[in-house]
Structure 1
Amino acid sequence: MRKLLLQMQMSIDGYVVDMDGSMDWMVWSYGNDWAWDTKLRQYHTNLMASIDCVLLSRKMAVQGFNDHWATLAQRSDNPQSHFAKSLTNAHKVVFTKTLTRSIWNNNTLAKGELVDEILALKQVPGKNIIAFGGAGFASSLIKSGLVDEFHLIVNPVVLGEGLSPFKEINSSLNLNLVEAIPYSRGIVVLKYSK
């Protein structure tokens, strides 16, 4: 059975956006200036090589996720192009109750119950599945017990308040630390499994 990996950038105190909804505090905030070092880029490239399916929330999908990465995938001079190609080529599943048609190639809309849809995806032969989304989408995945591995990219900042994927979790979730890797610019990648 395939695993569901959740990857999120967050602050030291566990927030994924600040109170204004900004992600400008991230060392890499998904813009054209990819400030990660070579080793962190390689970690991310290896992670993306282990998946062939990307789960997205509707909000992330309509905010230009695929268009942004498709543009970067075409620019071989950009250090993000390999990562962008992995994202663009992967099958994407957009979880939505409101979209009525697919907005890109190589994607499907998941309109059923979250747990049922993901359990069915895990049964499909292939590589692992990775989820990208905001605090609400991530919280739903965590609360439902669907996440098999957490890949947390911890940025060297404390926000004090904001949105956290763990806020709605109402019982403890014991995890096993697989690895903790420090990188330059103060980022630490924490990988946990259930």
Structure 2
Amino acid sequence: MRKLIAAFKISVDGRTEGPEGYADWVRSWADDYGLTPQVDACVLGAGMYRTYEQYWTAIRNEPGTPHWIDDTPPTPGEIEWAEVAARLPHYVLSRTLTSVAWPNTRIVRGLDEIADLKRRPGKDIYLMGGAPTAAGALEAGLVDELRLIVHPLLAGEGPALFATTQLRHGLELHDVRRMSDGRLSLVYGIR
């Protein structure tokens, strides 16, 4: 069975974004997790989809133009991910969306469809968010692995990654790696 791998860039206090609605401390949204060769599909929630589609379309269409987060041009890793992402099937978990603009994307209505996706042949699946979607998938027993890039700051306000999680979940540390600027890469299996 394919693994569903949830991956997030968070602050030390577990925030996925600040009070402005995005993680202004993240300098690149490239695949720092090492997932690109391992996955052949992506899952995200409706809330994240809107920003995701806009952000990555802009990078694909104008790779030299500064982006809205910090007014810097996309990194080479972001340009690479924009091209890879345009080829990968995406599944947007939503009860309300009726259409999507990102290439090779379809709307799924429930976590049972994600469970079905895991049973199909293929590589692993990248669950990229948002936080409520990841928490719901974790609660449903669908998440097999959690990859975190922890940024060295306390964000204070903003949503926590697993704020809505009700059940306790044991984690097994598979890998830890120190990255530049004091960031940590953590890989956990879900018990």
Matches of 1:138 and 1:106, distance apart in 2: 21
C-alpha RMSD of matched pairs (Å): 2.2
* Structure-1 residue corresponding to 2:47: 59
**2:166 matches 1:170:** yes
CA contact (8 A) 1:51 1:129 kept: yes
Q: Deviations over 1:25-78 (max 9, x none)?
A: 23x254xxx7xxxxxx6x54x311111101011112222x13432443464995
* Structure-1 residue corresponding to 2:4: 4
Alignment size in residue pairs: 179
Quickly say closer, same or farther: Cα 1:136–1:78, change in 2 above 3 A.
Answer: closer
Pairing partner for 1:98 from 96, 113, 121? 96
* Structure-2 residue corresponding to 1:37: none
Pairing partner for 2:84 from 86, 90, 93? 86
Q: Percent identity?
A: 32
Which residues in structure 2 correspond to 1:114-125 (within 5 Å)? 114=111, 116-125=112-121
Question: Which deviates more from structure 2 when the two are superposed, residues 133-142 or residues 9-18?
Answer: 133-142
CA contact (8 A) 1:54 1:132 kept: yes
CA contact (8 A) 1:55 1:92 kept: yes
Q: Deviations over 1:156-188 (max 9, x none)?
A: 101234211222222321111010111111111
SS in structure 1 of the partner of residue 13 of structure 2: coil
* Structure-2 residue corresponding to 1:23: 23
Unpaired runs of 5+ residues, structure 1, are 35-40
Unpaired runs of 5+ residues, structure 2, are 65-73
SS in structure 2 of the partner of residue 171 of structure 1: coil
Matches of 1:70 and 1:19, distance apart in 2: 25
TM-score by length of 2: 0.84
Matches of 2:173 and 2:96, distance apart in 1: 37
